[in-house]
Amino acid sequence: MLDVWLQQAAFAAGLDWPVSHPAFLFIRVLLAFIVLAALFTLARRYLRPVLAHLLDRLDGKLEQETERDRRKLASHLAHLVPAAVLINSVAPYFNHWPDFVLLVDDALWVYLYLVAGLAFAALTNFVCRIYATLYPASNVPYLGLAQVLKLLDAIVIGILILSTLLGKSPVYLLSGLGALTAVLLLVFKDTILGLVASVQLATNKMVSLGDWIEMPKYGADGSVIEVALTTVKVQNWDNTITTIPTYALIADSFKNWRGMQQSGGRRIKRALKIDIHSIGFLDAQEKQQISQQPELQDFVQSDNAQQLLATTQLTNVRLYRAYAEWLLRQHPKINQNMTLMVRQLESNEVGLPLEIYCFCADKAWVNYEQVQAELFDQLFATLPLFTLSAFQRLGHRSPE
């Protein structure tokens, strides 16, 4: 019908052109572009609302979070519609130009493969965005898995395009890849190691998003913000970004603070150095003086303190240890359900270490440091009340 219409138009214009005239080919190509552009526009316009509607039924917030990925996916899928339509109609539509049909057919298949690969990659990103929104604290390395899928997608699409351009079967190209195995292993070494490391990290739950890790070898000391196929990104405490090879987390050692974050407290483990020369027995007068100190009234009235003060041969460091433990027991920000003790370490050239071992219930770094500082401020300030003094190495004075 189109041939008849075109010839009638040519006769009306006084032109006696055959059906295979190049002008008719140009007109057919122009009409094909117009139809394909209309199909692409309609497909893209209706695909995006359909995707948005499906996401809205699944979870309302996904529509906003996936706007950019949804637009890309709809665009790539819309390209598939005109390509598929033209592939099925190119032979009868351009039946008078067989050489042109072969050229267009190859070009269309290459275009279809390329768009299909881009659509699959966009779909992978789209699914990853949905998963990240629904499960922000997931331990699954979905970014690494997505990159593996996109890499395989690129390899498959590349083989299909080459087979189309060369006129060979994809099996023929795949059989030739055996000789390139060593080269491929060398080129994709980091990718293969990263893939294996990602699986091990996920299986053993070694690292997940939000974990605070320390890896001095790579200058990493901060929160994990991305676990990808070949790299792990860490935002350090000073807001700098450190990139670590994924396989390095398997090959080298690192510290993960997740256990502390998930537990009931953050450990305080610090020692006061008591001057050994200030340690001694308390006589009755010294006990009386300690009992009358206003800062120690709550402690002195406790049962443990009363028992200690009633004993003979009581040392000031023993009473001070009891006070330090009592202070920890009374502190509202010390977790009482975890290990709590005040112990002596082996004396050395800097005195007698009196170690405070407990767990701060507030695990936030700033608050933790403030609780620890206030606690030791009070412990140091009350040392003289027990006739004790902290050891401090005096510097050498220059001769006058």
CATH code for position 235: 2.30.30.60
The count of other CB atoms within 10 Å of the CB of residue 317 is: 20
Give the number of other CB atoms < 10 A from CB of residue 197: 25
DSSP H stretches of helix in the chain: 2-12, 22-58, 62-65, 67-93, 98-134, 142-166, 170-176, 181-187, 189-204, 248-251, 258-262, 284-291, 297-300, 303-309, 316-330, 365-381
- Claim to verify: residue 273 and residue 352 sit in the same structural domain: yes
Mean pLDDT value of segment 78-105: 67
Residue 382: inside a domain? yes
In this model, does residue 60 exceed pLDDT 60? no
Confidence bin at 93 (pLDDT 50/70/90): low
Asked if the structure places residue 251 within a domain, the reply is yes
Residue 316 lies in a domain: yes
Length of the chain: 400
Q: Are residues 233 and 210 in the same domain?
A: yes
Work out the average pLDDT over 331-340. 92
Percent with pLDDT over 90 in the chain: 30
Average pLDDT estimate for 178-183:
63
Q: pLDDT tier at 386 (50, 70, 90 boundaries)?
A: very high
Check residue 64 and give its pLDDT: 67
| 289-294 average pLDDT score | 91
| Residue bearing the bigger pLDDT, 309 or 159 | 309
- Domain finish residue from 232, 260, 288: 260
Residue 137 DSSP symbol: T
Question: Which residues, other chains included, contact 256 with Cβ-Cβ below 8 Å and sequence gap of 6+?
Answer: 206, 207, 211, 212, 213
pLDDT mean over 34-59: 68
pLDDT score of 90: 64
Do 27 and 44 lie in one domain? The reply is yes
Comparing 152 with 390, the larger pLDDT belongs to: 390
Same domain, 14 and 107: yes
Whether residue 242 contacts residue 219, with contact meaning beta carbons closer than 8 Å, is answered with yes
Distance CA 320, CA 94 (A): 100
Confidence of residue 9 (pLDDT cuts 50, 70, 90): low
Better-scored residue on pLDDT, 77 or 64: 77
Residue 283 lies in a domain: yes
Domain boundary among 83, 111, 134: 134
Average pLDDT, the chain: 79
What is the number of domains present in the chain?
A: 3
For the ranges 81-90, 190-199, 234-243, which has the lowest average pLDDT?
A: 81-90
pLDDT band at 59 (very low <50, low <70, confident <90, very high): low
Q: Which residue has the higher pLDDT, 24 or 327?
A: 327
Q: How far apart (Å, rounded) are the C-alpha atoms in residues 231 and 245?
A: 4
Grade residue 40 by pLDDT with cuts at 50, 70 and 90.
Answer: confident
Is residue 398 pLDDT above 50, yes or no? Answer: no
Kindly state whether residue 332 falls inside one of the protein's structural domains. Answer: yes
Q: 81 and 20: one domain?
A: yes
Domain with 252 in it: 198-260
Q: What mean pLDDT comes out for the span 72-95?
A: 70
Same structural domain for residues 235 and 116? no
Together in a domain, 291 and 248: no
**Residue 336 C-alpha from the chain's centroid:** 33
Q: Which of the residue ranges 9-23, 50-64, 282-296, 324-338 would you say has the lowest mean pLDDT?
A: 9-23
Q: What is the pLDDT of residue 25?
A: 57
Same-domain status, 269 and 208: no
Using CA atoms, how far apart are residues 35 and 28, in angstroms rounded to an integer?
Answer: 11
Residue 153: inside a domain, yes or no?
no
**Domain stop point among 241, 260, 279:** 260
Confidence of residue 297 (pLDDT cuts 50, 70, 90): very high
46, part of any domain: yes
Please determine, for residue 35, whether its predicted confidence score (pLDDT) is greater than 80: no
pLDDT tens digits for range 343-375: 999 998 889 999 999 999 998 889 999 999 999
**What is residue 357's DSSP assignment?**
E
- Are residue 288 and residue 321 in the same domain, yes or no? yes
- The pLDDT-based confidence of 282 (bands split at 50, 70, 90) is very high
- Claim to verify: residue 208 and residue 248 sit in the same structural domain: yes
181 has pLDDT over 80: no
In this prediction, residue 99 has a pLDDT band, given cuts at 50, 70 and 90, of low
Query: Is 129 within the bounds of a domain?
Result: yes
Same domain, 300 and 241: no
Residue 116 shares a structural domain with residue 228: no
